[in-house]
Structure 1
Amino acid sequence: MLIAQEGRGPKPGSEPEIPEKPQPPATPKAHRPTLWAALALTVLLLALALFSLLIGTGSSPIARAWDFLLGDPAARADAQVRLAVLDVRLPRTLAAVLVGVALGVAGCLLQAVTRNPIAETGLLGVNSGAALGVVIGLTYFGVKSSYAVLLWALAGGMTASAVVLLLAASGRAAGSPLRLILAGSALGATFHGLTSYVLLSTQSTFDTFRYWTIGSLAGIETSDTYPLVPLIAAGLLIAFGCARPLAALALGDDSARSLGHLPGRIRVVVAAAVTLLAGSAVAIAGPIAFLGLLAPYAARLVCGPRIAAQLALSGLVAANVMIAADLLARVVIRPWETPVSVLLAFIGGPLLIWIARSNRLSTAGASA
C-alpha cells in the first residue's frame, strides 16, 4: 500500500507538474478571415457601384457625372447628364447588385443541398422554363414591353421549378439530390426543345427573344426591378433561415434526421428559395451562366464549411463580379456594348476547366 502511494506521487528530484491554463476558444480567430473578406468585398462593391455611375457608353464625361453626384448646380441642370446617371446607369447598377446577390446565394444553396460543388441554378430548369415563358408570351400573347417580358420569364422559371419539385418528390427516392438533378435536367431539355419548336414556327419573335436570351443589363429600368425586390428578399430570408438545417444535411441524411431535421423538407424549402432567387435574376437579366457556380467556390476557399458565411460571401462575390462584368461590357467595344453573359462565359469557362483539373475539386464540396 505504501509503495502504491509512493508510485502515485512525483519522483524524487522532479519538479511538480503545473496544470495548464485553459486556452481561449479559437472561434473568433477562425472567423477573422471571413469578416475581413466580407469587409473587403463590401468596400469593393461600393467602389464598383460608384464607377458604374460614372462610366457608360454615352458621351457624358466622367468628370461631369462626378460633379452631378457631388451636387454641382450646373451638372444637376444638365438634362443629358441627369439622364445618363439617374435613368440609365443607376437602374442597371441596382440590377447588377440584385442579380449578382440572387445568383450567388442561389448557387450556394443548390451546391449545399445537392452536395455537388459544380451544381448551378440551371439544374432546376429555371433558365429553360424562363426562356419558354418568354417565347410563349411573345408568340401567343403579343407581349411588347420589357416589363411584360420580365413577368413571363419569372412565371416560366417558377413553373419549371415547381414541376421539377413535384417530379423529385414522387417515387421511392423522393427528395434525393440525384432525383432532383435528373428531374431538372430532363425538364430543362424538354423545355429547350419546346422553345426551339415555337421559335422555328414563328420567326417574328426570334429577334426579341434573341435580345433577351443573350443576357444583358442594357435597357434596364427601375420600374422593372422594383417589383422583384420582395421576391429576392424573401428568397434571401429563406436561404439564411436554412443555414443550420443545411449544415446538418451536409453530414448525411441519417445524421440530419438524428438531429431532428427532415432532409426531404429541407430540399423542398431550399429549392423554393432557389426558384425565387434564380427566377428573379433570370427575369431581370436573362440567362447568366457560371456566376452561380463560381461564386460559391470562391466563398468556400475563404470561409470553409460554415453555410451562413458561404451564403453571405457568395452573394458579395457574385455582386462584385456582376458589376465588374457590366462595367467591362460598356467599354470593351465602345460605342457598342458586349453582353454580360458573353464576358462571364469567357471568364467562367477557363476557371471551371481549371477547377475540374485541379486537386481542389474533391475538397470543394458544400460540406468541405
Structure 2
Amino acid sequence: MSLSSLASLSELSAAEWDALLPDDNPFLCHAFLSAVEQSGSVSVENGWQPEHLVWREDGQIRAAIPGYRKTHSWGEYVFDQGWAEACQRAGIRYYPKWLGAIPFSPVTGARLLGETSAVDQLLTALPDYLQDQHLSGAHLNFTRPEENARLRGQANWLPRLGCQYHWHNRGYRDFQDFLDTLMSRKRKQLRKEREQVAADGIAFQWFSGAQLSESQWDFVYACYANTYRVRGRHPYLSRAFFSLLAERMPESIRVTIACWQSKPVAMAFSLLSGTTLYGRYWGCLAEFDGLHFETCFYQGMEYAIEQGLTHFDAGAQGEHKLLRGFEPVITHSWHYLRHPGLRAAVEDFLREERAGVRAWAEDARDALPYRRGD
C-alpha cells in the first residue's frame, strides 16, 4: 500500500480513472482533465504542474485526488493570496503548495475518489507526502457534502466557506412559468431585458460539441479570450483545449451562439451532466444592451427547462444573479497547512469569515425576486 503521484493523467487509461468517479460530473472525467493537460493549459511553466495523488493496493489504484503543484494562486476561485502575502512578510515559504481541484473551474464535485477505506488511508499518508515534497500544505476546493463530513474528522484540516448563486428548475413548464413566480416589478425587468435583445434582432442557436466546425470553435475561443484581454489578462485555456474536448466528450458540450444580421457576435460555453447545466465561459465581439444576461443566464435557464434539467450553475460570484432568480449556495473548501503558526492564524481568520459568509448568504435571500410565500 502506498501513496504516489502522477505527473500526467495519460499515465492512466480513461477506463482506469473514470472507474473511480462517483457520478457523471463532466469536469472530473479523464477526457476533460487530460484535455486541460495536453492542450498546454496547465503545465510546469504556467504554475499548474499536474500532480494527481493515487493510493495503490496490490498494484491497483484504489483512491485518487486530481491535483496540481502550484507556484501561485491564480485560477482557483478560493482566494488565499492574503495568506501567501502574510507568509512572505513573516519569512514563511507558502509556495509551492498542493491543490486538489479542477483547473479554472469553481464547480462543486467529488475530490476524494475511490473506495472509502483507501481514501482514508490516502488522507492519513498525505501529511508525510507534503513534508517529503517540501510543500507548504494541501487545499481541496469545492468539495461535496459527503467529503465535508469526512474531512471534519481529519486532524488539522481547516474548513472554508464561500458563496455562489445557482438557479433551480422547480418543474417549470416554460420560461413564462418561471416568470410567474416572480414579484411583478422583477418580472417586468427580466421581460424587458429579453425584449431589448430580441428587438436588436439577435437570434440564438444551441449546438452540441459534435455540431460545431473548427471555424465556429475559432469564434468560440475568440470570444472566450476576449473576456480576459479586455481586462489586460491572458486566457487560462488554450485554443487546442476546445478542439480536444470536442473530440473526446462532444456529448457533454453545449454552446449557444448569438447572431446579429446573420453574423455571430457572442457565445456561452457550457458542460452538461444528467441533472445540471454548467455555464462556464462567455464572450462577445460586439456590445448590445442586455446581451450578457440573455446569453449567460436566460438562454441557459430556458434550455434547462426544455431539457428537464434541475440545476443551472452559471459560475462563481456575481451578486447580479440574485435579481434574476439565482439563489445563494454555500460552497466548501478545506486547507491543511503544515506551519503551526500559519495554521493557527488562518484558523482564527476562517472562523470569523465563515460567520460572515453565512450571514451574507442569509441576507442575500432578501434580494431574490420571488414572490414572498412561494
Q: Quick check: TM above 0.5?
A: no
Q: Which has the higher contact order (CA 8 A, sep 6+)?
A: 1
| Larger relative strand fraction | 2
**Max Rg structure:** 1
TM-score (norm 2): 0.22
